[in-house]
């Protein structure tokens, strides 16, 4: 299995990172991607990837941190993006749910990172929360269309269909395992809607991720999340789609390799 979105660079993993990576590998997660969310965490992602076989990095500035984005940030990202084992630019995008940074600054930081990805021929890792239309409006300004993933997908069915039709992947996380709040009810990012979404988009556009330390899947909900728990997401996806776990593992792993062409171990 490939965990396509982790934050092993989060301080919550400082004490036991080696054990966490070892547990992931023992559970069948042989590759994982550590995503940057600002400059220090992007640098940490590159460092972790350098030290561990099967671990890769992305470098980017999260919409929460967009208010700090400057010409200097862009220069540092461009440098970091050329380090070995960097497979994408991100996470970047728009978050209109929390709006920790003003919208115009989020949009500016996102546009700069799309341009950087196109310049370096890298995919983008998109964080989009209650912002699907605005994210698409920005992406549509660019020709050729960038490649990438809408990680931790929480937007509507319509957005899921639109982005996968453009060739984007969607990342499925722990919420697919969450029980509905009340019988027959669902929220926009809830399990019912997600289960419908994975049934209507092509399976060739789906990747799996933990987004650890956040969004821990059932049965470990409430604890710190880690890549070893990816199996619960793969299992739920298999159950939802009426496929075997092996099939889902094989297909989503092939998808991840197409999404991140640089995710290859150098020989020797
Ligand atoms: Zn995110
Ligand atoms: Zn993330």
Cα 126 to averaged position of ligand 2 atoms, centre (Å): 9
Cα 46 to averaged position of ligand 1 atoms, centre (Å): 18
Cα 90 to averaged position of ligand 2 atoms, centre (Å): 9
Q: What pTM was estimated for this model as a whole?
A: 0.95
- Judge contact between 226 and 217, C-beta under 8 A: no
Domain edges within the chain: 2-259
Chain-centroid distance, C-alpha 117: 15
Counting ligands in written order, which one lies closest to the CA of residue 37? 2
Counting ligands in written order, which one lies closest to the CA of residue 8? 2
In degrees, to the nearest 5, what angle opens at C-alpha 225 toward C-alphas 219 and 230?
Answer: 70
Cα 268 to averaged position of ligand 1 atoms, centre (Å): 34
Pick among 3.30.565.10, 3.40.50.150, 3.30.390.10, 3.20.20.140: CATH of 2-259:
3.20.20.140
Tens of each residue's pLDDT in the chain, 268 residues: 999 999 999 999 999 999 999 999 999 999 999 999 999 999 999 999 999 999 999 999 999 999 999 999 999 999 999 999 999 999 999 999 999 999 999 999 999 999 999 999 999 999 999 999 999 999 999 999 999 999 999 999 999 999 999 999 999 999 999 977 654 444 445 567 899 999 999 999 999 999 999 999 999 999 999 999 999 999 999 999 999 999 999 999 999 999 999 998 766 5
Cα 213 to averaged position of ligand 2 atoms, centre (Å): 9
In degrees, to the nearest 5, what angle opens at C-alpha 208 toward C-alphas 91 and 187?
Answer: 80
Ramachandran angles phi, psi of 97, nearest 5°: -80, -55
Counting ligands in written order, which one lies closest to the CA of residue 209? 2
């Amino acid at each position: 299995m490939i965990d396509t979105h982790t934050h092993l660079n989060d301080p919550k993993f400082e004490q036991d990172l080696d054990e966490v990576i070892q547990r992931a590998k023992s559970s069948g997660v042989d590759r994982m991607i550590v995503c940057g969310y600002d400059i220090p965490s992007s640098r940490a992602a590159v460092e972790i990837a350098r030290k561990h076989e099967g671990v890769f990095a992305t470098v980017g500035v999260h919409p929460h941190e967009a208010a700090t984005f400057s010409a200097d940030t862009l220069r540092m990202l461009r440098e970091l993006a050329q380090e070995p084992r960097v497979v994408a630019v991100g996470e970047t995008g728009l978050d209109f749910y929390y709006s920790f940074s003003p919208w115009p600054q989020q949009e500016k930081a996102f546009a700069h990172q799309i341009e950087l990805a196109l310049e370096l021929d890298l995919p983008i890792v998109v964080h989009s929360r209650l912002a699907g239309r605005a994210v698409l409006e920005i992406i549509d300004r660019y020709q050729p269309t960038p490649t990438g993933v809408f990680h931790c997908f929480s937007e509507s069915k319509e957005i899921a269909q639109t982005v996968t039709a453009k060739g984007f992947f969607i990342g499925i996380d722990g919420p697919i395992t969450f029980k509905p709040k009340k019988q027959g009810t669902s929220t926009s990012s809830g399990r019912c809607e997600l289960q419908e979404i994975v049934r209507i988009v092509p399976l060739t556009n789906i990747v799996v991720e933990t987004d650890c330390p956040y969004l821990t899947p059932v049965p470990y909900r409430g604890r710190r999340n880690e890549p070893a728990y990816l199996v619960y997401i793969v299992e739920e996806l298999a159950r939802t789609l009426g496929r075997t776990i092996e099939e889902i593992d094989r297909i989503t792993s092939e998808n991840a390799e197409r999404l991140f062409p640089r995710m290859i171990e150098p020989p020797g």
